[in-house]
C-alpha cells in the first residue's frame, strides 16, 4: 500500500511542477497576456511560496521541488504580464 501512495505523491509532484507550462509556452509564443489574470498569478506565487517555506521546514524534497518550479513559473508569468502590458501601452 505504501507503494501506491508513493506513486500518487510522485504524480502530484510532477503535475504541480508543470501545471503552468502550457500557459508559459502560450504566453511566450504569442506575447499576448491580456486574458491572463494578474490576481491569479499573484495568488499562485503566494501559495507556492508558502508551500515552499513549509517544504523547507519539514525537509520534504518533493514539496520543495514542486513548489520551487511552480513559484518560478508563476514569477515568469508575472514578469511577462507586466512586460507585455507595458510594451502594449507604449504602442
Please give the pLDDT value at position 90: 67
Question: What whole-number distance in Å separates Cα of residue 69 and Cα of residue 78?
Answer: 14
Judged by DSSP in three states, 73 sits in helix
Number of domains the chain is built from: 1
User: Which three cell numbers, joined as nine digits, stand for 35?
Assistant: 486574458
Confidence of residue 7 (pLDDT cuts 50, 70, 90): confident
Output the pLDDT for position 87.
79
User: Per the structure block, which three cell numbers stand in for 61?
Assistant: 524534497
Domain span holding position 61: 2-90
- What gap in Å lies between CA 22 and CA 1, rounded to an integer? 33
Say what the pLDDT of residue 85 is.
Answer: 87
Dihedral angle, C-alpha 45, 48, 51, 57, nearest 10 °: -80
Q: What is the CATH number of the domain that holds 60?
A: 1.20.1280.290
pLDDT in tens, 22-48: 999 999 999 999 899 999 999 999 999
Q: Global pTM?
A: 0.84
Amino acid at each position: 500500500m505504501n507503494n501506491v501512495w508513493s506513486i500518487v505523491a510522485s504524480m502530484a509532484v510532477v503535475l504541480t511542477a508543470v501545471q503552468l507550462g502550457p500557459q508559459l509556452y502560450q504566453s511566450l509564443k504569442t506575447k499576448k497576456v491580456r486574458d491572463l489574470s494578474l490576481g491569479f498569478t499573484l495568488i499562485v506565487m503566494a501559495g507556492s511560496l508558502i508551500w515552499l517555506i513549509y517544504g523547507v521546514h519539514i525537509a520534504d524534497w518533493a514539496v520543495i521541488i514542486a513548489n520551487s518550479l511552480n513559484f518560478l513559473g508563476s514569477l515568469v508569468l508575472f514578469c511577462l504580464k507586466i512586460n507585455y502590458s507595458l510594451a502594449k501601452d507604449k504602442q
